[in-house]
């Protein structure tokens, strides 16, 4: 049995995350040996969004504890007890100093960690190089480079959005009869093509045509705000804390259960255009004007009822737009499978409507588990495994690319 162990590191936004997977290369099955996500949400909440410089600082402080937790879960955290165990990297390593010269807060933690920790049995380290916030991306990249240098392990540069696609392509092995069997299966060979991927997150709203895994063409994109950004901005207008998506989703469900509707209907921008593009800023602005009008006409601000009703209407509008565009894409490209990724697919209403659409069109729909929808290290460990033939050494790793595309726009 040929197994490969991959450590994935993700720091593109406000989650510091690592994961270790062990893949049975022949069977295409794998185990998640460790998976840790440290969210910075509380720190950014007061800014109403992610503050890049603060994110960079937090990643520097948290990345070592996050890695130690993941290594411990995997049973791979072993402190060096004898001289023999100690790392070859001396306390004064010019190479490590150079790699982490822009991460001054991480450097002392890193040196202590590397000198007191035994090298784990890892074949590859995979790291998000984009898209994302560049100051945040750099922390993960330089951390991964420093680890690769100290442990002499190849590095796999990964696209964050491909990671989101891959989290939908795994299936829990429910009938795991023996302890020796892996608990997940990689479905990369089961997908029928042409497939499309809907990527909906805080920074992206894209429809991607996939002719085969790794060959991506963007066929639809947002012209302004991303869908998650729309949820977050609308939430802010309604007085709800960042990140707004989960809160809007919860209030919308309550509104549906109790039959509360919005004081006014909201627009569905670009729902009927012939292309596969999106626009959400008009929806966000319509909410802003509606809230201003309501606030002007009543002295106590918005009622709970109004906030719930507007949340429901916003969620309905977004769901209808997405469903209409995916339906169009299925027809135009004779799509056989739909793969959905990104934090917004944690939204139950959107999931349910996509499930109905897939059933109606007899198309395979692949969704990530709820807890794998938002950013995590597992998605990057999977991307590292899939792209291991593109591994490089720490000296040649490409730089952070905030706007890294998944493929060309066609």
Interacting residues toward ligand KG4 by CB under 6 A: 13, 201-203, 228, 231-232, 243-246, 249, 342-344, 346-347, 374-375
Q: What angle do CA 276, 282, 288 make, to 5 degrees?
A: 150
The one of Zn ion, ligand KG4, none whose footprint includes residue 232, by CB under 5 to 8 A per kind, is: ligand KG4
Q: Who's near 53: CB < 8 A, 6+ residues apart?
A: 135
Q: What is the dihedral of CA 156, 205, 37, 398, to 10 degrees?
A: 20
Closer to Zn ion by Cβ: residue 202 or 309: 202
Q: How far is the CB of 306 from ligand KG4 (least distance, A)?
A: 20
Closer to ligand KG4 by Cβ: residue 194 or 405: 405
Q: Which of 281, 360, 285, 291 is nearest to 321 (CA)?
A: 281
Q: Are 371 and 377 in contact (CB under 8 A)?
A: no
Is 206 an interacting residue with respect to Zn ion (CB under 5 A)? no
d(CA 268, CA 220): 17
Q: Which runs of E-coded beta strand occur in 226-352?
A: 337-341
* Start-end of H helices in 184-280: 227-237, 244-257
d(CA 169, CA 368): 7
Q: How far is the CB of 11 from Zn ion (least distance, A)?
A: 12
Closer to ligand KG4 by Cβ: residue 120 or 203: 203
Per-residue x/- track, 325-354, Zn ion (CB under 5 A): ------------------------------
Q: Which runs of E-coded beta strand occur in 214-331?
A: 215-220
Which residue in 110, 276, 375, 386 binds Zn ion (CB under 5 A)?
375
Q: How many residues does the chain have?
A: 410
Q: Who's near 316: CB < 8 A, 6+ residues apart?
A: 252, 349
Q: Who's near 286: CB < 8 A, 6+ residues apart?
A: 266, 267
Closer to Zn ion by Cβ: residue 226 or 260: 226
d(CA 14, CA 263): 34
Q: How far is the CB of 380 from Zn ion (least distance, A)?
A: 10
Per-residue x/- track, 173-202, Zn ion (CB under 5 A): ----------------------------x-
Q: How far is the CB of 343 from Zn ion (least distance, A)?
A: 6
The one of ligand KG4, Zn ion, none whose footprint includes residue 240, by CB under 5 to 8 A per kind, is: none
Closer to ligand KG4 by Cβ: residue 11 or 93: 11
Is 205 an interacting residue with respect to Zn ion (CB under 5 A)? no
Q: How far is the CB of 161 from Zn ion (least distance, A)?
A: 7
d(CA 158, CA 12): 11
The one of Zn ion, ligand KG4, none whose footprint includes residue 244, by CB under 5 to 8 A per kind, is: ligand KG4
Closer to ligand KG4 by Cβ: residue 135 or 342: 342
Q: Would you call 59 helix, strand, or coil by DSSP?
A: helix
Q: Are strands 170-172 and 184-186 parallel, antiparallel or unpaired?
A: antiparallel
Is 316 an interacting residue with respect to Zn ion (CB under 5 A)? no
Closer to Zn ion by Cβ: residue 244 or 309: 244
Q: How far is the CB of 89 from ligand KG4 (least distance, A)?
A: 33
Closer to Zn ion by Cβ: residue 313 or 375: 375
Computed over its alpha carbons, how large is the radius of gyration of the chain?
Answer: 22
The one of ligand KG4, Zn ion, none whose footprint includes residue 243, by CB under 5 to 8 A per kind, is: ligand KG4
Residues in touch with Zn ion (CB under 5 A): 201, 375
């Amino acid at each position: 049995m040929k197994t490969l162990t991959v450590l994935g590191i993700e720091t593109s936004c406000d989650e510091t995350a690592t994961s270790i997977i062990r893949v049975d290369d022949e069977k295409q099955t794998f185990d998640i040996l460790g998976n840790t996500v440290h969210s910075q949400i509380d720190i950014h909440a007061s800014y109403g969004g992610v503050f890049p410089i603060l994110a960079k600082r937090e990643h520097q402080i948290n990345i070592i504890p996050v890695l130690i937790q993941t290594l411990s879960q995997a049973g791979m955290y072993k402190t060096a007890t004898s001289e023999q165990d100690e790392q070859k990297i001396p306390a004064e390593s010019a190479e490590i100093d150079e790699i982490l010269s822009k991460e001054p807060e991480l450097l002392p933690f890193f040196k202590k960690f590397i000198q007191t920790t035994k090298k784990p049995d890892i074949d590859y380290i995979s790291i998000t190089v984009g898209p994302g916030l560049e100051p945040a991306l750099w922390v993960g990249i330089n951390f991964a480079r420093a680890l690769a240098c100290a442990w002499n392990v190849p590095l796999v540069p990964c696209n964050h959005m491909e990671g989101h696609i891959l989290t939908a392509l795994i299936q829990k092995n429910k009938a795991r009869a023996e302890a020796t069997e892996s608990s997940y299966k990689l479905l990369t060979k089961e997908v029928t093509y042409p497939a499309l991927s809907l990527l909906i997150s805080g920074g992206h709203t894209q429809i991607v045509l996939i002719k085969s895994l790794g060959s991506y063409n963007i066929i639809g994109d947002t012209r302004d705000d991303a869908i998650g950004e729309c949820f977050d901005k609308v939430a802010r207008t309604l007085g709800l804390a960042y990140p707004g998506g989960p809160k809007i989703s919860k209030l919308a469900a309550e509104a549906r259960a109790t039959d509360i509707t919005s004081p006014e209907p909201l627009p569905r921008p670009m729902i009927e255009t012939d292309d596969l593009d999106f626009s959400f800023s008009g929806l966000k602005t319509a909410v802003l004007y509606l809230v201003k009008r309501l606030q002007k006409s009543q002295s106590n601000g918005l009622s709970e009822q109004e906030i719930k009703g507007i949340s429901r209407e916003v969620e309905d509008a977004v769901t209808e737009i997405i469903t209409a565009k995916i339906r169009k894409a299925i027809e135009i490209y004779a799509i056989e499978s739909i793969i959905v990724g990104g934090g917004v697919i944690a939204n139950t209403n959107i999931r349910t409507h996509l499930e109905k659409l897939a059933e109606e069109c007899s198309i395979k729909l692949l969704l990530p588990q709820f807890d794998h929808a938002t950013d995590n290290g597992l998605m990057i460990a999977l991307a590292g495994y899939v792209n291991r033939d593109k591994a490089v050494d720490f000296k040649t790793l490409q730089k952070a690319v905030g706007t890294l595309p998944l493929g060309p726009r066609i």
